A and B are shown apart, each in its own frame.
Chain A
Amino acid sequence: MIRAIVTDDSPATRRILISILKRISIEIVAEADNADQAVAACLEHTPDLMFLDVVMPGETGVDVLRRMRAQESGIGVIMVTSVSDRDIVECCREQGAIGYILKPFRHTRIVADVTRLCVERGLLVPPPTSGEDPTDA
């Protein structure tokens, strides 16, 4: 099972994101509402994915990304934020984020992006294309 951490200072956003992720069989191993909690949770649980907000009290999500990168954690970080500033988006990409989803999001967007990114990272087997019999050897 794919294991993930959700980091957002908004309890409502965390709750909605978690409910979507659980529906696609992603196990939420921890929640965090600030940078320090997020980094500590990553070290403790070594998840496959982390969903990370940018604007949080204290250090930002970009700071978390930098710290995770310095530790070469290998965790796939997907930014989920309302910040659409080009500089911030590019900075997140350069710091190793594998995805960037703008709020307010549609649940179909989360499902599609997470599924695609998991397939790309080898965490999921791609679904069979239409017409292909999945029972074929």
Chain B
Amino acid sequence: MFCRQCGERIARRCLCGSVCLPTDHFCGNCGGSQQQEGGHASLAGDSDVNVDQRTESDSRKVPADSLTEEAERDREHYKLGRSQLQQDDIDALFSAQGEP
């Protein structure tokens, strides 16, 4: 992933799918090397996210595919109750917290 402003690399993806910082020596998820020549990141076939595939509205999100996949897994895991809320519903619920 690259910064849309300056083009600087801001993240890369390990073979295991986790997002790593360019300064990381090892993947925080699988421990794979990120620095050595031919390390996980480059073995992944230059697997950085293609910024051209991202829409303008996505540009301010924390967008990594792995985070979205994790979110989906968690949703599946916890799909048990009456209804699913949107962020606005949750905000309303919490803002009513302090009211008498």
Contacts and interface: CB of A to CB of B under 8 A. Distances in A.
B4 interface: no
Given A15-B28, A86-B81, A101 B62 contact: no
B85 A104 contact: no
Contact of A106 (B29, B62, B68): B62
B94 A84 contact: no
Interface in B76-94: 77-87, 90, 93-94
Contact of A84 (B61, B62, B84): B84
B87 A101 contact: yes
A97 B93 CA distance: 12
A86 B79 CA distance: 10
B50 interface: no
B60 A54 contact: no
A87 B77 CA distance: 14
A10 B94 CA distance: 25
Per DSSP, chain A at the interface is mixed
B70 A10 contact: yes
Interface residues of B, number: 33
B60 A108 contact: yes
Given A12-B19, A84-B90, A87-B80, A104 B63 contact: yes
A102 B89 CA distance: 11
Interface stretch (A21-29, A67-75, A88-96, A129-137): A88-96
18 contacts: A10-B67, A12-B28, A16-B19, A20-B62, A85-B82, A85-B85, A86-B82, A86-B84, A86-B85, A87-B82, A89-B93, A98-B94, A103-B70, A103-B71, A103-B74, A104-B68, A104-B71, A106-B61
Closest 9 CB pairs of A and B: A11-B28, A82-B71, A87-B81, A85-B81, A82-B74, A55-B74, A83-B78, A12-B19, A103-B71
Interface of A: 10-13, 15-16, 20, 54-55, 81-90, 93, 97-109
Interface of B: 18-19, 21, 28-29, 60-64, 66-68, 70-72, 74-75, 77-87, 90, 93-94, 97
